[in-house]
Amino acid sequence: MELPIERYDKGTYIETNTKNKISRHSTVCGTQNIVLGGKNCVNRQSIVHAECVIRGDLKHIQVGKYCILSKRSVIRPPHRLYKGEVVFFKLEMEDYVVIGEDSVVAAAKIGSYVQIGKNCVIGARCILKDCCRILDNTVLPPDTVVPPFAVFGGNPGTLVDQLPESAKLLHQELAQTLAANFVPQ
């Protein structure tokens, strides 16, 4: 199934010299704490779509390359109650992660080649290992650990399926295609 080419108005997106695209209508807080597109990568190609909210002001957020943060998603660092105080800690997201529209992500660590569906709630301090998939409308309770190649769905999110090893290539291709199909008008 061919993914459609999505054209955007060039003025509404900022394109960095490392080829990240960040919507001007997104709310990116604490830009000095955000690493978008991996650290040592020339061609990073991560996309932050419109009305996405990234809370870098709470704690560091590290996003890998070819990550697609879709519209109206909320990326916030996870928090923990430590000695009676709310403490935020780093959100690490690796490469080729696709986060669907309207999702709320407060995970601690998201591995590579992960696909998160639309309208999901990833609870605080969740750990999503490589190549896993979160279906649409899933609610993952806090501290959930999603194993590699697992498919989680439902509310509360439970294991519903397992993916074959080819899921790594499929998820990588999806992220790369979404990034490549996002072209200016």
Residues that bind another protein (CB under 8 A): 27, 29, 51, 53, 55, 72, 74, 76, 102, 104, 106, 119, 121, 123, 137, 139, 154-156
Nearest to another protein of 26, 112 (CB atom): 26
Q: Cβ 118 to another protein, closest distance in Å?
A: 11
Residue 24 structure tokens: 């001007």
Determine whether 152 is exposed, middle or buried from the number of CB atoms within 10 Å of its CB (0-12, 13-18, 19+). buried
> Among residues 117, 109, 155, 122, which one has the least CA distance to residue 133?
117
| Look-up of token digits 């660092």 | 77
C-beta of 140 vs 175, nearer to another protein:
140
The least distance separating another protein from the CB of residue 33, rounded to whole angstroms, comes to 14
The pair of structure tokens assigned to 115 is 């696909």
Nearer to another protein, 65 or 76 (CB): 76
Residue 95: CB minimum distance to another protein, A: 25
Closest approach, Cβ 119 to another protein, in A, equals 7
Which residue lies nearer to another protein by CB, 103 or 112?
Answer: 103
Range 124-137 burial, b when 16+ CB lie within 10 A, else e: bbbbbbbbbbbbeb
